[in-house]
Amino acid sequence: MSAIRVPVVEKIMSANDRMAQENRNLLDDHHVFSINIMASPGAGKTSFILQTIKHLTNEMKIGVIEGDTAPVTIDADKVIKAGMPAVQINTGGDCHLEAAMLSDGLKQMPLEGLDVLIVENVGNLICPAAWALGTHINLLVASVPEGDDKPYKYPNIYRGLNVLIINKTDLTPYVEYDLDYFRKGVEMLNPGLITFPLSCRTGEGVDAWVDWLRTQVKQYRQG
């Protein structure tokens, strides 16, 4: 049985990877720097996107593709209200975005004139880690009230990251959270991972992230 099943799985995975490469080529053709944002439900992905837009609204055009498991446009509506283009992808109950879904979303997104494309993945710390989308970086929004043991419990998603955000630092005084223990777990899985602790509610720490993103976009354009 396994001799039959394994090649099928490989075929599906490489089809996703091929589609991810096509997405990347399309984004590069339009000089659009792209970010795949993953997180647990309620860690603050949308608030993080809105803070990023707020800080860069006069400098950059930022498009957002919203992945949701249900046909609700709560997040996309917030992005449009903030003055940026948004496209919603409804996964129909599926627990992650795949490259083909992003490809469909990209067809509806005006890439001309866009500086940055943000993809808000489905809220899930497990499944999105296994599916490349073709974006330039993978970013995770962790949050303080989720607890300091998450890298130990969900290691796969931490291994594939380029940037880590620790959101809701304003709640630190009210919860039990050992930042050193959290960081030790991250360091084991992804040594030297670039990390920005911040609060989307108070705005504290957001500048450092935005400065880093600004530099990344500049370097990307210079090729």
> Taking CB under 8 A as the rule, does residue 171 contact its own copies?
yes
Q: Which long-range contacts (CB under 8 A, 24 or more apart) does 81-85 make?
A: 82/50, 82/53, 82/54, 82/57, 83/53, 83/57, 84/53, 84/57, 85/61, 85/109, 85/110, 85/114
> Taking CB under 8 A as the rule, does residue 168 contact its own copies?
yes
Residues pairing with 162 in the sheet: none
Which C-beta is closer to its own copies: that of 29 or that of 176? 176
Which C-beta is closer to its own copies: that of 33 or that of 154? 154
> Taking CB under 8 A as the rule, does residue 51 contact its own copies?
no
Closest distance to its own copies from the beta carbon of 201 (Å)? 7
Single out the segment in contact with its own copies by CB under 8 A; choices: 1-9, 19-27, 34-42, 101-109. 34-42
> Taking CB under 8 A as the rule, does residue 153 contact its own copies?
yes
Footprint on residues 5-24 left by its own copies (CB under 8 A): none
Closest distance to its own copies from the beta carbon of 199 (Å)? 11
Amino acid at 185: G
Single out the segment in contact with its own copies by CB under 8 A; choices: 1-9, 10-18, 82-90, 172-180. 172-180
Candidates 188, 146, 189, 138; CA nearest to 164 is: 138
- What six digits make up the tokens of 217? 């976009």
180, 77 in Cβ contact below 8 A? no
Footprint on residues 199-218 left by its own copies (CB under 8 A): 201
Q: How far is CA 135 from the centre of its chain?
A: 9
- What six digits make up the tokens of 88? 């919603």
| Total interface residues for its own copies by CB under 8 A | 35
> Taking CB under 8 A as the rule, does residue 192 contact its own copies?
no
Q: Which of 16, 69, 90, 162 binds its own copies (CB under 8 A)?
A: 69
Which residues are CB-contacts of 168 (< 8 A; sequence separation ≥ 6)? 43, 44, 143, 144, 145, 199, 200, 201
Q: d(Cα 41, Cα 38) in Å, to the nearest integer?
A: 9
Q: Which of 95, 179, 188, 208 binds its own copies (CB under 8 A)?
A: 95
Footprint on residues 117-136 left by its own copies (CB under 8 A): 122-127
> Taking CB under 8 A as the rule, does residue 149 contact its own copies?
yes
Residue with tokens 């879904």: 101
What residue ranges bind its own copies (CB under 8 A)? 40-42, 68-70, 72, 74, 93-95, 122-127, 143, 145-147, 149-150, 152-156, 168, 170-171, 174-176, 201
